[in-house]
């Protein structure tokens, strides 16, 4: 299985605003990654989603 590597700032050509719900535990883990990598929470979420979509079976 491929491993996810969080990279610095990424740019999006287009974006859509959506509201999602997640567990507090998931939110906390993503917040820690964002803080550690010095990137936005949203950027981490987008990278996680892209990785998941590219590696879904």
User: Per-10-residue mean pLDDT for the chain, 57 residues long?
Assistant: 81 85 98 96 94 91
In a domain, 5, yes or no: no
2 within some domain = no
What is the domain extent for residue 32?
24-54
- Is 35 within a domain? yes
| Spatial CB neighbours of 55, under 8 Å, sequence gap ≥ 6 | 1, 2
Token pair, residue 15, equals 């974006």
How many other C-beta atoms lie within 10 A of the C-beta of residue 38? 8
Number of domains in the chain: 1
Return all residues near 38 (Cβ < 8 A) that are at least 6 apart: 8
In this prediction, residue 4 carries a pLDDT of: 85
* Inside any domain, residue 49: yes
């Amino acid at each position: 299985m491929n491993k996810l590597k969080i990279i610095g700032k990424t740019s999006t050509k287009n974006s859509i605003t959506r509201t999602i719900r997640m567990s507090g535990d998931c939110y906390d883990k993503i917040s820690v990654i964002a803080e550690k990598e010095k990137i936005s929470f949203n950027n981490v979420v987008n990278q996680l989603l892209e990785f998941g979509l590219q590696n879904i079976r």
